[in-house]
Structure 1
Amino acid sequence: MSDYEIKVGTWNDLSEGATAVRRAVFVEEQGVAEAEELDGKDPDAVQFLARDGESPVGTARLRFPEPTVGKVERVAVRKSHREAGVGSALMRAVEDAARDENATKLKLHAQTRVEAFYRQLGYETVSDQFEEAGIPHVEMRKRLDS
């Protein structure tokens, strides 16, 4: 795991790597329309980029729809780096950043195939299944300790 570096920054700082990972995972692998994936909300979000050396291998973003509630979005890890701790490292960085902004709760829309991953990190499913971008999702939440 020590080979991975997580960068936290703005869309201006991290858009190139984040877009590359999201395009590979969401657009190419899962068939999400690029226009839906790149939704224009990135400049308003805190961006996270995991690198293996110089290669971008994972990404996430964090927005604040309410002052104390963070919304985790666009979590993606390249197929070649799944099961290697990249997703967990990204989520730790997201949770730390949310705490730094005084968030008390995080929410996310998890694809149902990765619901167990988020459950292992302490997230609880709080909705029935619904579709986003043609993919089954559930809403999950986690209370943050200060």
Structure 2
Amino acid sequence: MDELEVQIATSDQKREDAFAVRHEVFVEGQGVDEAIEYDAYDETATHFVAYDSDDPIGAARLREYADGVGKVERVAVRESRRRSGVGRALMERLEDYAETLGFVTLKLHSQTQAADFYRRLGYERHGGEFEEAGIPHVEMRKPLERR
């Protein structure tokens, strides 16, 4: 990697970069129906994009779920860039931003195969396994601490 940088998608182009990563990972890679991959929350959520130089390689979004609670969604890293710190960098940037918004807790629905990744970042599993988009998931939560 030349230069990993996680940015908030403040322009239409950066949002399109985030959507391109999500499309490759979820729609093409995992067979998620495009009709459910993109939803009304895309209009109001804060989107994050990880770049290697100018190449978008990861994406995530954050939205308010409840008072003081943010929900992390659509975390995706291109297959060729997995296990190289991109996901961690995305989550650290997202968590820092979530704190500036006043969130005290983050929750997410992790694909079961990714739950260990989130556990290593301090997320704890809540409840049993369930299905979303035909894929097994678990709910995970993390209290945010002012760094």
TM-score category of the 2 structures, normalised to the smaller one:
over 0.9
Q: Is the 8 A contact 1:12 1:43 kept in 2?
A: no
Paired residues in the alignment total 146
CA change 1:62–1:11 in 2 (3 A) is farther
Alignment of 1:1-146 (within 5 A): 3-10=3-10, 12=12, 14-146=14-146
Residue segments in structure 1 that go unaligned for 5+ positions in a row: none
* 1:11–1:43 Cα contact (<8 Å) kept: no
Query: Which 4+ runs in 1 deviate beyond 2 A?
Result: 9-14
Q: Percent identity?
A: 53
**Cα deviation 1:17-47 (Å, max 9, x = unaligned):** 0111000000000000011101121121111
**TM-score, L = length of structure 1:** 0.96
- State whether residues 130 and 138 of structure 1, in contact with CA within 8 Å, keep that contact through their aligned partners in structure 2: yes
What SS does the aligned partner of 2:127 have?
A: coil
RMSD of Structure 2 on Structure 1 (CA): 1.3
The Cα of 1:2 is off from its aligned counterpart by 6.8
CA distance in 1, matches of 2:9, 2:29: 26
Alpha carbons 2:47, 2:62 under 8 Å: kept: yes
Deviations along 1:26-84, one digit per CA (max 9) or x if unpaired, are: 00000000111011211211110001111110000000021310000000000010000
- TM-score, reference length from structure 2: 0.95
Give the aligned residue type for 2:130: F
